[in-house]
Amino acid sequence: MLLLILPTTSSLEALQAYRTGLMHFRSGSPREAIALLERAVELDPQFCSAHRMLANVYVSLGDGQAARQNYAKCFELKDRRLTQEENFRAAATNHMNMTGNLEKATAVLVLYKQAYPRSTVASNLLGLVYLRMGRTEEALREFQRAIDLAVVPAAPDLNNASRTLMIMGRFGEAKKILDEWWQKGSLNSFQTTTRYTIAFIENDAATMERLAREIPADDTLWLGLQQQVAFFRGDSSKLVR
């Protein structure tokens, strides 16, 4: 029920690894997803959707170089033997993450939504483009639409909505989304940094300490956030030199 399309691959084993990796990512476990998605592209190097999803996972973990490599590979495979929806996704993510042409990304995603009106991916990607363009109200509507359409709640969609609410200063609503997910399990890296940022702004030391205990000390996004917090606090001892 998580996929609206059957990704194009000649390998059943690669498809199974992809679908399991996707479920891990959507449930908030990106690290667990990496090995499965790497296995999928190892079994089928031409598996465009697996490359794109692997790039998304690397983005969530703060590894921009690995993400760009996989987005580039996905776009390279565009138009070869893919479904229309896969081509929409490949073109949109290429403009979003490689060329930086957000106007072209928007045009592709508007067509994508028209062709697949119940696609959570189309709405989520369009929301990300709007957010980068500073169109926060429109971004929030797209993220909420993705959440409403999802059969099973997805961590990336919920996190995008919460981050947008935080940018808009609607901290109470952002916290509600994250805390409801937190009560059901653990937060992923993006969710943790968003929740920690809100706690920092609100001077909520108890929540900051709890989050610090739960996240791996070597998490890339976490380390970056700690650098920012140290800067704002004027704690030069914790800044990377």
pLDDT of res. 237: 53
pTM: 0.76
Instruction: Tell me which residue has tokens 């706690």.
Output: 199
Q: With contact defined as beta carbons under 8 Å apart, do 5 and 86 qualify?
A: yes
Contact 211, 225 (CB under 8 A): no
Per residue in 16-27, pLDDT (tens digit) is 999 999 888 887
45-73 pLDDT, tens digit each: 988 889 988 988 888 787 888 888 888 88
Burial of 169 (0-12, 13-18, 19+ CB in 10 A): exposed
Helices 84-94 & 48-60 angle (0-180, nearest 10): 40
pLDDT at site 81: 67
Please name each of the domains of the chain with its CATH number.
Answer: 11-82 (1.25.40.10), 168-241 (no CATH)
pLDDT at 87: 87
One digit per residue, the tens of pLDDT, for the chain of length 241 reads 334 455 778 889 999 999 999 888 887 788 888 999 999 999 999 888 899 889 888 887 878 888 888 888 888 877 666 788 888 988 898 899 888 999 999 999 999 999 999 999 999 999 999 999 999 999 999 999 999 999 888 888 898 999 999 999 999 999 999 999 898 887 888 888 899 999 999 999 999 999 988 887 777 777 777 777 777 766 555 544 4
Contacts of 15 (CB under 8 A, 6+ apart): 6, 7, 9, 40
